[in-house]
Chains A and B, each alone.
Chain A
Amino acid sequence: MSDDILLSARGLRRTFGTFRAVDGVDLDVRRGSIHSVIGPNGAGKTTLFRLLTGILRPTAGTLHFGGEPIAGEPVHVIARRGLVQAFQATNIFPRLSVRESLRAALVSRHGRTRDLLSWSQPAMEQEASALLDTVGLTRLAEEEAQKLSHGDQRALEVALALAMRPRLLLLDEPTAGMSPFESRKMVQLVQRLAAEEHLTVILSEHDMETVFGISDRVSVMHQGRVIADGPAREVRANSDVMAIYLGSEA
């Protein structure tokens, strides 16, 4: 496997009874790229994400992250390796404040989750403040997460993932349910993170403007398989993909 490839899947499969949700997927994600996975509902994108993060175990196939095999490893172990997901459904800590939520994530990254007696660390607090600034939530730092708007909750979701200093960030429909203004802000954030932090991003998204606006590569899924894969321009020009999956949106 090339050093350039951060994540590699070969023959990845997941079945539920006789149904093949993910059926022999091959995927190579290059370091520092924004790689989108698209396809109609039921194509297997969410299941693929769950396989990558360890929420589901693959029925067959191999999965390497940074050259190390990760298939079948527990979720928390994969997260600690640097493969972190920001979820599709808003997945926050409802009654923790925004700052506390970030503290919890930072405590995890710094390996201090079993620290029973210490006071909080100023360095960690500064990091939390910097993250709040990055995602534009500084003014809402002391608000309970459940009281934020949908867009701000998604921003917190991303901040939680960033707190882990991921090597690869999985974004599952980051603009779902957002207003056009919030969507634009989110897209700008993803682009900025990829450019400034050299972050590798895998993106699942229904909005084709977003996908082709920011992606370096695109993989198209249908019925559990990858049916097209390549640079965004090439996939966009693929008439079969256009006709079947992207319709008039593209």
Chain B
Amino acid sequence: MYGPPGVDVGDTADESVSTGDGSARLSGRAELVPRLLVPIVLVVVMAALAFLLSDNVLLTLQEVLALAVFATATNLLLGQAGLVSFGQAVFYGLGAYTVALGWLHWQLPFWATFVMAPVLGALVAVPIGLVALRARRLYFALSTLAFSELAYQLAESRYDFTKGANGVFGTFVPTSLTFPRTGYLFVLAVTVVSLLLLWKVNHSPFGLVLRAIRENRDRMQALGVNVYLHQLIAFVISGAFCALAGAMFVVFSQSSYPELLDWTTSGEPIFMAVIGGMGTFLGPAVGAFIYQFGHDELVRYVSDWQLVLGAVLLAIVMFWPEGLLGGLGRLGKILRKRGGNR
């Protein structure tokens, strides 16, 4: 279902290696090379940008990359498992606070807290998932929203521990990462590894089971799958990567504050997935680019940028519900079909 940009729902990345006969497998391996070429070139170009772009743009790109991981991890639930969670900000904020509070209270080194963030995200996702996944559809979304509000209120009200509404600001990131170029390259490296891992999960037997559950939960249960357990695993994986994205946020912002935990922050990766295409693997990441750069441009000219965002989202939902990459993928398929018919 998921694939590289331009591959829409219905195509699988390992389709060509999975037909079972030897020749198809060989051709699958041959196809793998051009498939790998595109992401490799993309990563090289992204890395080269570190030496071409201004510091301001590199800082924005760091934020975009953190949001890309946040959106892709959220889309594991949204696009893959069909679970609309308004609680992923809990993990995003938790990742940021892990780095900030580790430094503030225990003087923990950045590298230790950066590694701890996804582990804590996964651990916290277990009890939240256990409770929220008892509910379905709207009630699941509302449960996760409630957890988000709970986390936000906790962070805001416990001034002694979290510095309340002011948040935590400080020099908890190593000096080498505070330079826009090195910070960008570090965040890019973490993004590449994160997206590779999430891509692998999406294309694994587990990913297929999640999509089947999304399509027909009861049927999958009747085929011997413990739906609750598999959704919980997806929730935990998503929580871990959302927390990692939160820790990445700290690299360029050098701060952590309660708004990161708010449910409106949970809405952002959903917007990004809708814009880029939640039915494609890279759609949410592309959505993050469009959302963040679009936002930065919009605020220069329009004070009520949310109005424009709302209008854009409405237009996408009504006229291009598959999002940018999903729509392009379908367009490509139609053109290929027409070409084939000639």
Residues of A within 8 A of B (CB): 53, 55, 74-77, 79-80, 84-85, 87, 91-97, 100-101, 103-105, 107-109, 112-120, 122, 125-126, 128-129, 142, 144, 160, 163-164
Contact = CB atoms under 8 A, between A and B. Distances in A.
B216 A108 contact: no
Query: Which secondary structure characterizes the binding site on chain B?
Result: helix
Contacts of B212: 93, 96, 100-101, 104
Given A55-B222, A92-B219, A104-B209, 17 more contacts: A76-B226, A79-B224, A91-B218, A95-B1, A96-B1, A96-B212, A100-B12, A100-B208, A104-B212, A107-B209, A113-B225, A115-B204, A116-B206, A120-B18, A125-B18, A126-B20, A128-B20
A210 to B, nearest CB: 23
B78 to A, nearest CB: 15
Contacts of A104: 208-209, 211-212, 220, 223
B9 interface: yes
B222 A122 contact: no
Contacts of A84: 222-224
B224 A108 contact: yes
Most buried by A among B14, B25, B224: B224
A85 B222 CA distance: 7
A122 B20 contact: yes
29 contacts: A76-B221, A76-B222, A77-B224, A79-B221, A85-B222, A91-B222, A92-B216, A93-B211, A93-B215, A93-B219, A95-B10, A96-B1, A104-B208, A104-B211, A108-B224, A113-B205, A113-B209, A113-B230, A115-B206, A117-B200, A118-B204, A118-B205, A122-B18, A122-B20, A125-B20, A126-B20, A128-B20, A129-B19, A129-B20
Given A91-B219, A92-B216, A109 B10 contact: no
A108 B225 contact: yes
Contacts of A144: 10
B222 A75 contact: yes
B323 to A, nearest CB: 15
B104 interface: no
A82 to B, nearest CB: 9
A163 to B, nearest CB: 8
A199 to B, nearest CB: 17
A135 to B, nearest CB: 16
A140 to B, nearest CB: 13
B201 interface: yes
A93 B204 CA distance: 18
Nearest to B208: A104
B177 to A, nearest CB: 29
Given A91-B219, A113-B230, A115-B204, A108 B209 contact: yes
A45 B275 CA distance: 47
A79 B222 contact: yes
Most buried by A among B10, B17, B208: B208
B233 interface: yes
A76 B201 CA distance: 23
Nearest to A145: B215
Contact of A53 (B18, B200, B222, B226): B222
B204 A116 contact: yes
Contacts of A93: 211-212, 215-216, 219
Interface in B20-71: 20, 25
A164 B208 CA distance: 16
Interface in B201-245: 201, 204-206, 208-209, 211-212, 215-216, 218-227, 230, 233, 237
Contacts of A142: 15
Nearest to B226: A76
A1 to B, nearest CB: 24
Contact of B230 (A85, A114, A122, A160): A114
B96 to A, nearest CB: 26
A117 B204 contact: yes
A93 B205 CA distance: 16
A120 B28 CA distance: 12
A47 to B, nearest CB: 16
A97 B233 CA distance: 24
Nearest to A112: B205
Interface in B152-208: 200-201, 204-206, 208
Nearest to A146: B215
Contact of A96 (B204, B211, B221, B227): B211
